[in-house]
Amino acid sequence: MKYMLIMRATDEAFASMGAIDFDEMLATIGKYNDELIRAGVLVAAEGLDDAAGGVVVDYSAEPPIVTDGPYGETKELFNGFYILNVASKEEAVEWAKRSPISGAGFKTEIRRVASIDEFPQDNEWIIKERAWREATGQL
């Protein structure tokens, strides 16, 4: 089963990372990533650029409203993610507990990634997506 570990931080916690030496941060996260790789569970991992360069598309109006970052009063920012292929939610939790990105204001949300096999296989859009995934080596 695949699980996404969504890395979140309060504005204050995210700002505190600026005080950490960048090479030290890369080494710390690199060691964690290496553990995931050696265990054979890492599918993907990405960090996100500063929220100041992002945008939000709000669909509560027609046409949708686009707002440039930074977002003013945020309670938590989504700063990156891991996708792990593990046997259970409990195993995903255990990996999340080992994250070096920890402390007050940091959280990891864990959610199972649904498989294409869980959707109606006779649906034309699922058939097209399955064909695309097969053609690109994702299945």
Look at residues 105, 129, 135, 132 and name the one whose alpha carbon lies nearest to residue 117. 129
Band (120; pLDDT cuts 50, 70, 90): very high
CATH number at residue 8: 3.30.70.1060
Q: What is the pLDDT of residue 101?
A: 86
Q: Domain span at residue 84? A: 2-135
Which tens digits make up the pLDDT trace of 77-113? 788 999 999 999 999 999 999 999 888 889 999 999 9
CA gap 113, 43 in Å, rounded:
12
Q: Is residue 12 predicted with pLDDT exceeding 90? A: no
Which tens digits make up the pLDDT trace of 37-71? 999 999 999 988 887 888 888 899 999 999 887 66
User: DSSP secondary structure string, 18-51?
Assistant: GGS-HHHHHHHHHHHHHHHHHHT-EEEEEE---G
Chain centroid to CA 53: 18
Q: What is the pLDDT of residue 19?
A: 83
Segment 105-125 shows an average pLDDT of 94
Task: Output the pTM of the full model.
Answer: 0.84
Q: Is residue 20 predicted with pLDDT exceeding 80? A: yes
Number of folded domains that form the chain: 1
Report the side by side order of strands in the sheet with 77-85: 42-47, 77-85, 2-9, 106-113
Q: What is the pLDDT of residue 74?
A: 64
